[in-house]
Every structure is written in C-alpha cells, then in structure tokens.
Amino acid sequence: MLLQHRKDERFNQKIEHHYEKQKAFLTAYGSKCLGSKEKAEDALQECFLAIIERKADYADLSDDEFRKVAVTMMKYKCIDRLRREKKWANRAPDAYDDALDAFDDLSATYLKKEREQMAREALKKLDPLGQQILYLKYFEEKSYKEIAEELAISTNLVQVKLYRIKQKLRKMLGEEGENE
C-alpha cells in the first residue's frame, strides 16, 4: 500500500512537471485550432485528465515520449471539441483535417526547435578540440587533411576524434544508427 502511494506520488510529480513544461505550448497549439484560448485551456485540462486516468500507460515515458503523447492527445481533444460545436456538426470529416493542418505544422516546428536546442547544449559539452574539429569539418567544410594541418595534429587523429564525437553526440541526443 505504501509502495503504491509512493509510486502514485512520483507519477503525480512527473505529470505536474510535464504539465508546467508543456502548458504554454499546448495552449497555443489548441488556440490555433479552436480559435479561443479559453477553449484551448479546457481541452488541455481534458487532455491531462485523460492522462491521469490512464497513468499506468504514461508513468514511465521520457520527456520526449510524453510530449508526443500530449500533443497527439491534445489534437484529438480539439477535434472532439470541434465536433461538439454546432458549426462543425454537418461538415465532412476532411474539414477537420483542413482545420488541423496548421496545428500539425506548429507541432513540427516546436519539436524541431527543441531538438536544435538539445543539439546546441550537447555541443557545449564537447571538449574544445572536438568543437574545433566539428566546426572546421561541417561549417567550413574542410577536409581531414586541412583540419589536421590547421590544428597541427595527424589526419588519423582527426578521423578518430570526429568518429568518437559523432558517437558521443548520438548517445547524448538519444539517436540510433550511423547518420551524419
């Protein structure tokens, strides 16, 4: 009983954290779809109530995973609200998709900006030599040989260092695979 209470308390703290972190974005997201901040706030409350009701499904999600769930849920709560409004009652299902196109674009833009911020923070954690190598390779588009000459190190060290940096960045950003 006590263990379940602690687990519930931990989940409640996570939900509160996620709510505070996502509230402004999800409200703006809903406002764009519903045309009203008040309606968006109501949809947001419905969204988080639904999450709390099914807490077992969402208790162990990472911030990124939770955000995706919340955005999807918010989208459907907005669709539900549009359906309940009289002006949408007799429209074809495609009309909802048209109304939500901007909604999806806003979501994609937000997620892209957040991913870019994560990348900047990860780059700051690299050592100075690693930062210089990345800069020279990807911003000045220099060859391994040119980088080695400029930094007075071997070409082999540049290649090895760059490989390790990319591995480290993938790990910090939670990416899989060998994408450059």
Taking residue 113's Cβ as centre, other Cβ atoms within 10 Å add up to 10
**Which residue pairs from 1-7 have beta carbons closer than 8 angstroms and sit at least 24 positions apart in sequence?**
7/59
Contacts by 76-84, CB closer than 8 A, 24 or more apart: 77/30, 77/43, 77/44, 77/46, 77/47, 77/50, 78/30, 78/33, 78/34, 78/40, 78/43, 78/103, 80/43, 80/46, 81/34, 81/39, 81/42, 81/43, 82/33, 82/34
Would you state the pLDDT for residue 149? Answer: 93
Q: Is residue 57 exposed (0-12), middle (13-18) or buried (19+ Cβ within 10 Å)?
A: exposed
pLDDT of 101 reads 60
Task: Give the model's pLDDT for residue 134.
Answer: 85
* Residues written for the chain: 180
Torsion of CA 58, 55, 72, 66, to 10 degrees: -30
What residue has token string 């077992």? Answer: 56
Rounded Cα gap, residues 154 and 156, in angstroms: 5
Asked if 143 and 151 touch (Cβ cutoff 8 Å), the reply is no
How would you write the pLDDT of the chain (180 residues) with one tens digit per residue? 556 666 677 777 777 777 788 788 888 888 887 888 888 888 888 888 888 788 777 767 777 788 888 888 888 888 888 777 765 555 555 555 555 565 566 666 666 777 777 778 888 888 888 888 888 888 888 999 999 999 999 999 999 999 998 888 888 777 543 444
Q: Which residue, 53, 95, 50, 55, is CA-closest to 73?
A: 50
Contact, 80 vs 32, CB < 8 A? no
Please identify which residue in the block is written with the tokens 């939770």: 66
